[in-house]
Amino acid sequence: MPVVKNVVQSVNDLTPAEQRRIVEERWPQALAEAVEKEEKERALPPLPNVEKYDRVVTRFAPNPDCALHLGSARAIILSHEYARIYKGRFLLRFEDTDPRLKRSALQFFEMIREDLLWLGCKWDEEYIQSDRVQIYYEYAERLLEDGKAYICTCTPEEFRAKILLKEPCSCRGLEPSESLSRWEKMLDGSYGEGEAVMRVKTDLNHPNPAIRDWPAFRIIDTRRYPHPRVGDKYRVWPLYNFASGIDDHLLGVTHIIRGKEHLSNQLRQEYLYRHLGWEYPEAIHYGRLKIVGASLSKSKILRDVRSGLYEGWDDPRLATFAALRRRGIRPEAIRRLIIEIGPRSADIVLSWENLYAHNRKVVDPEAKRYFFVKNPFKLLVREVPQRFTAEVPLHPNRPEVGSRRLCIEPINGEASILISDSDLNLLKRGAVIRLIGLFNFKVESLDRKRAIGVFHSRPHEEARRLGAPLIHWIPDGSGLPCDVVMPDGSITSGLVEENFKGVHVGDIVQFERFGFVRVDRIDEGFTVYFAHK
């Protein structure tokens, strides 16, 4: 299609301003349409059966046994976002009902609150299940009285053998009064750990054996495994399906948004709701989320942080919110990503580029630009006729934020400059190269120790005319030491221009031709964390 090619070529030859002017003149409507399109942000699909409820109530219900990571982002952001869209309420509920295996820790309660706030997901109400144990007991007793649940003293093996055959265990048929007295024995310590559980009656013929008469309470020896908040106050603790099921109803949750690993839990809890005469809320189960190269397994993260494999919860190799925050990933980028992903039930493996692209859009307009010369390499330019001052904007698209200056003072016509070793491959003998903002030089020689060039010309236009590559630089003898912590935990060292002094911890800046980084520490030198290109 040579015709098309020609037309495209001739349009491309126009500057964007010219293109815009012509479109405005001839097809003003097209422009209006384009603007309209831009403003439309991807919207979440509507929540089911919203009209059934007075107002939408969602919740995020973490076990505070680990730092939060990207895997929780969906539950948090979707729940919060839907509550916001429907002007409902968003609850935070800590599910700390396992003092033994998935033991919570006080530090994580606070860490989780911080993460939610950082993500912009402020909650309207907060609950902690270890404060509500008495409530669970009341419902347990009611179920026991009604014969909807029983205390089972079988070993797990005995029970499993029976249930697999769709047969009741010997405890199932007990009179409510007997169950109740067994329940008392659970509470008063007559039964030891593992000697009795409360089970909720379901359908023994349920096709999924895991649904049949599921356990609701077990005994934990809290003198050996004290709960971090309430110590050994309780020895009978509810399991997930009981505590969570009871709370969702009591707290008025209308829409549960959680991972699809909970699909069968809905089935289990529906029996509980039926026993209590309640109606189960709407439940949305999103698919498993992975991100290339990072583990989103809490137990693995927990283990590796404790063992010292990682520096801490915010080690850049981790996909915890703490780590992402430290690397300069903005919560807004995470929010957009999660909304883009939505609540689908298919499993996904995210590419980091998906996150970076969003973050770049958030961060680019505000990040000031600086020169960072990694592994500085000496460049000597001869025949420099005078002193030069380069004035480079702090942000190319926003002149109002000002500029920075770098000064070159030649001695006997020789200017000494530092450039990045990653630009060495450009220094072919005879090549003309421009030092951004300064001048152009021609390469004369390059050896192991230094490069030598000769002054070529001043104007940028000349560089453009020659197609000369543009590289960044700093004057030799200047520059502040700077370590860049990379996403893999490695450190890249170099020098950053002196104007960098003005930055603050937490600032996100762009090292030109290197990438976006977040200022992490300022002492003798700087430590920054690499976000992305």
Partner RNA sequence: GCUCCGGUAGUAUAGCCAGGCCAAGUAUUCCGGCCUUUCGAGCCGGAGACCCGGGUUCGAAUCCCGGCCGGAGCACCA
Residues 407-466 that bind RNA (CB under 7 A): 422-423, 434, 436-438, 460
Q: Which of residues 490-529 bind RNA (CB under 7 A)?
A: 510, 512-513
3-state secondary structure of 319: coil
Question: Tokens representing 40?
Answer: 């439309």
Instruction: Give the closest residue to 323 by CA, choosing from 332, 333, 313.
Output: 313
Which one, 345 or 445, has the nearer CB to RNA?
345
CB of 523 to RNA, least distance (A): 27
**H helices, E strands: number in the chain:** 15, 27
CB of 311 to RNA, least distance (A): 26
Q: Which of residues 220-279 bind RNA (CB under 7 A)?
A: 237-241, 243-244, 260-265
Is 49 among the residues that bind RNA (CB under 7 A)? no
What does the alpha-carbon distance between residue 443 and residue 456 come to, in Å, rounded to a whole number? 9
Contact range with RNA by CB under 7 A, out of 105-113, 136-144, 314-322, 360-368:
360-368
What does the alpha-carbon distance between residue 413 and residue 3 come to, in Å, rounded to a whole number? 54
Cβ pair 105, 228 in contact under 8 A = yes
Which one, 244 or 254, has the nearer CB to RNA?
244
- Tell me the sheet residues that pair with 506: none
- Report the residue from 350, 431, 466, 486 that binds RNA according to the rule CB under 7 A: 350
CB of 296 to RNA, least distance (A): 10
Cβ pair 74, 286 in contact under 8 A = yes
- Report the residue from 98, 248, 497, 520 that binds RNA according to the rule CB under 7 A: 98
Binding mask of the shown chain, residues 176 to 205, with x at each position contacting RNA by CB under 7 A: -----------------xxxxx--------
Is 67 among the residues that bind RNA (CB under 7 A)? no
Q: Which of residues 288-307 bind RNA (CB under 7 A)?
A: 288
CB of 182 to RNA, least distance (A): 13
Contact range with RNA by CB under 7 A, out of 136-144, 327-335, 350-358, 444-452:
350-358
Backbone angles phi, psi at 124, to 5 degrees: -90, -30
Which one, 80 or 472, has the nearer CB to RNA?
472
Cβ pair 443, 427 in contact under 8 A = yes
3-state secondary structure of 357: helix
Is 353 among the residues that bind RNA (CB under 7 A)? yes
DSSP H helices, 342-424, are 352-363
Is 156 among the residues that bind RNA (CB under 7 A)? yes
CB of 191 to RNA, least distance (A): 9
Backbone angles phi, psi at 477, to 5 degrees: 90, -10
For 165-176, b/e burial (b = at least 16 CB within 10 A) is: eeebbebbebeb
- Report the residue from 122, 224, 361, 521 that binds RNA according to the rule CB under 7 A: 361
Which one, 55 or 164, has the nearer CB to RNA?
164
Which one, 392 or 408, has the nearer CB to RNA?
392
Which one, 311 or 403, has the nearer CB to RNA?
403
CB of 510 to RNA, least distance (A): 6
Give rounded-to-5 percent helix, strand, coil for the chain.
35, 25, 40
CB of 236 to RNA, least distance (A): 10
Q: Which of residues 377-406 bind RNA (CB under 7 A)?
A: 390, 392, 396-397
- Report the residue from 50, 53, 84, 100 that binds RNA according to the rule CB under 7 A: 100
The vertex-467 CA angle with 464 and 472, nearest 5°, equals 75
Q: Give how far Cα 362 sits from Cα of 332, 336, 374, Å.
A: 7, 10, 26
Cβ pair 411, 401 in contact under 8 A = no
In the chain, the amino acid numbered 279 is E
Residue count, binding to RNA (CB under 7 A): 90
Question: Would you call 366 exposed, middle or buried from its count of C-beta atoms within 10 A (0-12, 13-18, 19+)?
Answer: middle
Pairing assessment for the beta strands 57-60 and 89-94 based on DSSP bridges: parallel
Is 95 among the residues that bind RNA (CB under 7 A)? yes
- Report the residue from 471, 484, 508, 517 that binds RNA according to the rule CB under 7 A: 471
CB of 17 to RNA, least distance (A): 8
Cβ pair 293, 488 in contact under 8 A = no
Which one, 130 or 254, has the nearer CB to RNA?
130
